[in-house]
Amino acid sequence: MSLERRYQNVEDFAQVARRRLPKIFADYIDGGSFSETTLRRNREDFDLFALRQRVLSPLAATSDLSVTVAGRLSKLPFGPGPVGFLALYRKNGDIAVARAAAEAGIPFVLSTFSINGLGTIREATGVAPDFQLYLDEDPEVNAAHLDACRVQGVERIFLTVDTAITSVRERDVRNGFRGVDRMTPGLLWQFAQRPLWSLDLLLGGFPEVELVRGRPEFGRGAMAQAGNLSRRLDKNLTWDTVAELRHAWSGQLFIKGVSDPADAARAREAGVDGIVLSNHGGRQLDHGRSTVAMIPEMREALGPSAALVVDSGFRRGSDIVKALALGADFVLMGRPFAWAVAAEGEAGVAHLIVLIEREIEITLNLMGLSSMEELRQQEDCILRK
């Protein structure tokens, strides 16, 4: 069956990904923290809003879905968020997602926890990706990350700030995810049940995190490096840290994981170029609010000039239309890209982008609009149900 018929939406990719991946990785992608209330709420709250249908208004021959975020053009109003270890879900997964994004004219954000490194991505796509930064407890490691960004011509860094402590994801505890740093019989059994994935990933040797490869303090092999990277996260980030980074990094700086208007106002004072309104896809604070419901108040607190990017729970083109109608500039999606690359590699990611693009265009047109700009300017095109 062709990709076009097999995959109609994000959930179709998720189902295939779950069948293709070993359970330990499928659960790692899917899971949220504790009771997974925030995870569910992120989805449910899209239903708080309804879009206005407008008829008999002239539409442009082609819709313009482009947006400008902190001065940079993106052909579409959404893109892949930073997701760790994409290349464990499909060989060279970071490259696959980065290539499909570059082809579509949208930005790609490379996670600190990526197998493929900045240079590899740049070589594969011809453009430097944006970089998501997790600060390590050792300032020298952080300085090395920033140097690598400068060398590769990275323009924008996303400092993730919502992981002061890693929350408990019960699915991962059950699967022993955090403790895995070598092959165990249980893991081998899981891998054996997923022969396609095993052939793809295990032939040629288990991958390593390029950014810390050859640094003995992080160990060897992606799983050990993952454990060490997480354990070594700087737990004492403060607004001073943001100020120091603002000083040290002359490119664009976004902070990712802001989810309260008071913090959005502080971010504006700190002089960042933008924030990502995010609850880490329901993977950190459980029982927090959904991000979509917070967009209007976050925009107000942030003011009009800094960019407001949002993520957590976005699965549909209509979700993205709602976010922009409520005042966001851009949407990141995490799991959908992980599922698409796990299911079908680069072709799958390219198809996912087309599906979401088409859904946005149809939604806009049925609202009597033909561009994201018109949507942003139209008052009252979204209502609380």
Ligand X SMILES: Cc1cc2nc3c(=O)[nH]c(=O)nc-3n(C[C@H](O)[C@H](O)[C@H](O)COP(=O)(O)O)c2cc1C
Q: Does 225 bind ligand X (CB under 6 A)?
A: no
Distance CA(301)–CA(323), nearest Å, equals 16
Residue window 244-263: x/- pattern of binding to ligand X, with contact defined by CB under 6 A: ------------x-------
Q: Does 313 bind ligand X (CB under 6 A)?
A: yes
Contacts of ligand X in 151-210 (CB under 6 A): 160
Q: Does 286 bind ligand X (CB under 6 A)?
A: no
Q: Does 278 bind ligand X (CB under 6 A)?
A: yes
**Is 247 designated active site?**
no
Q: Does 132 bind ligand X (CB under 6 A)?
A: yes
Out of 33, 63, 111, 363, the only residue in the binding site for ligand X (CB under 6 A) is 111
Half-sphere exposure of 72 (CA within 13 A, CB side): 15
Q: Which of 118-126, 244-252, 305-313, 370-378 is the region at the interface with ligand X (rule: CB under 6 A)? A: 305-313
Q: Does 82 bind ligand X (CB under 6 A)?
A: yes
Q: Does 29 bind ligand X (CB under 6 A)?
A: yes
Q: Which residue lies nearer to ligand X by CB, 48 or 60?
A: 48
Query: Which entry of 247, 280, 287, 351 is annotated as an active-site residue?
Result: 280
Amino acid at 195: P
Out of 311, 329, 344, 357, the only residue in the binding site for ligand X (CB under 6 A) is 311
Distance CA(113)–CA(225), nearest Å, equals 9
Distance CA(169)–CA(302), nearest Å, equals 31
Distance from the Cα of residue 108 to its chain's centroid: 9
Say how many residues touch ligand X, by CB under 6 A: 22
Distance CA(206)–CA(257), nearest Å, equals 31
- CB–CB of 333/81 below 8 Å? yes
Closest CA to 360 of 310, 330, 318, 328: 318
- CB–CB of 26/17 below 8 Å? yes
Q: Does 117 bind ligand X (CB under 6 A)?
A: no
Q: Tell me the closest approach of the beta carbon of residue 82 to ligand X, in angstroms.
A: 4
Q: Which residue lies nearer to ligand X by CB, 82 or 219?
A: 82
Strand partners, 74: 67
Give the chain's radius of gyration (CA, Å). Answer: 20
Question: Which position has the token pair 């991505």?
Answer: 121
Q: Tell me the closest approach of the beta carbon of residue 69 to ligand X, in angstroms.
A: 16
Q: Does 81 bind ligand X (CB under 6 A)?
A: yes
CA distances from residue 110 to 7, 83, 344 in whole angstroms, order as listed: 25, 7, 20
Instruction: Tell me which residues touch ligand X (CB under 6 A).
Output: 28-29, 81-84, 111, 113, 132, 160, 256, 278, 280-281, 311-314, 333-335, 338
Catalytic (active-site) positions: 280
